[in-house]
Chain A
Amino acid sequence: MNLEVDVNHRQGEFVLRARFQSDGRLTALFGRSGAGKTTLVNMIGGLIAPKEGRIVVNERVLFDAQQKISVPRHQRRIGYVFQEGRLFPHLNVRQNLLFGRWFTPRLRRVVAFEDVVSLLGIETLLHRIPVTLSGGEKQRVAIGRALLMDPEMLLMDEPLASLDDERKAEIYPYIERLRDDGRVPIVFVTHSVAEIARLATTIVVLENGRVIAAGAASDVLRDVTLFPAFGAGEAGVVLEARVEAHDEEFGLTVCRVRSGQLTVPRIKQPTGTVLRLRVRARDVIVSVEEPKGLSALNVLPGRIVAIEMGAASADIAVDCAGDPVVARLTRKSVHELALQPGLPVHLIIKSIAFEGDIASVPAPEI
């Protein structure tokens, strides 16, 4: 295990009782704001001491209340990328990057400066000072600074939250490279389903200071009962799919899921790659008969497993040959179609629904 956490903490009204372990290359701490994600990473990084409990990183005990162990933050060797970057304003980019290196014993310096700089694409920024950088550039420098201290683990606390979609898209590939490079395990805090679907190998779901689910990303993402934690607009499932063919003429890619094929806008990955496709509940249409004469290319057969009624809408959980898919309909439709558990249905998903969402990502091997 590269991370074991078992902590009890109280901060005013807020109570955190979290216990999980992870061996993933990128462990996502997922939950809404106020769920306790940042408090948890602050505990791992040594910025907050839990009242009780134990934290172990790579077999090294960093905190143990019973044994009265609490390694001070400057001896933890845990890189921390903060939400706001926190670059030192009086130092230029190069000096910021090398800050942690001054305190790293020579023998432990493994990562090469040039490698990190080129990995993050910040060669041209080295002589700039932080105030002149854009948000995305700042975060890349902050990631580089944390990497160059040769950390045992990298903590990232919503490092993309303050950036617009374009800047986010600019940084995702760097985080993916780090994850797939596999040298440093990453703990990544986020409240975005898109981000966990894209990045996580292991997911820990937090709600009101408690862990409500933890495990391999593919398992947690399929767990329909976790739905409420994902929030209204974000609700959806993530399916694993394999790239089958590319249709150059129409700019499309055909992927295979368990119950059939899904056609999505052309993606770059070669055939055979395993992807994650994110299907939002609001993008799914339910039909009780096999649909004909439809513009939608994606029709998946399945069987209703559960119906959860909300105020105006209803979430229909459908089992498509083992893949769970959820559709969000109006209660009126549920009534008119006489939908009920056990009923065979066809799900219709527009190909265009996958666009822009970057639902397509190589599923990292665990």
Chain B
Amino acid sequence: MPLAKSRSSAADVALNVAAQDMTSLLADLAATESGVRRNAVRALGLHPGSAAALCDRLQVETSPSVRAVLFTTLIRLQSPAVAVRLAKLLRSDDAPLRNAAIEALQEMPDAVAPHLQTLLADEDSDVRIFTVNILAALRHRQAPEWLAVVVRGDPHVNVCAAAVDGLAEIGGPETVQDLRDLRGRFAGNAYMEFAIDTAIRRIGAE
């Protein structure tokens, strides 16, 4: 029988449960081994005061697995201050980083809500698109309303298109008129017409 019980019953891994102090944990954020960094991030997650340091690390960390743990931990530690730091990443050139920031912000409705107006007014249309993407998946009662505001006023076709896509999922009958009005603003744009028709059909208020 080749099946064997683990001789050491996996106890060869020392259980390092002793509470590590903040200073050494913060130092471990820059350790060479990614496993040490991941453990440091998780341990720091128990100290709300470490959120800023974790945000700092996010800006230089390149390992996908450590980044993932950083984002997950920051979701747990969420606060308006964390949301502001993550929102800055929407401008990053690093596609995985900015997309992970979008996902993390979607998980912190109350923390991100106070910043949404500013982000929706950003001069960079890509930042506005990402904000609309956040809104469309945000567990927040006002999300459909904010998307409707975008549809009514944003000058950029792709920002409006993203908002229409969001409304197709979370919009109610009250947004249908805004969608109809939008058609006039981008007349002749085949995608926009398709998106508006789809949204109105999905909202179910033809």
Are A and B a genuine interacting pair, yes or no? Answer: no
| B interface residues with partner A (beta carbon < 8 Å) | none
| A interface residues with partner B (beta carbon < 8 Å) | none
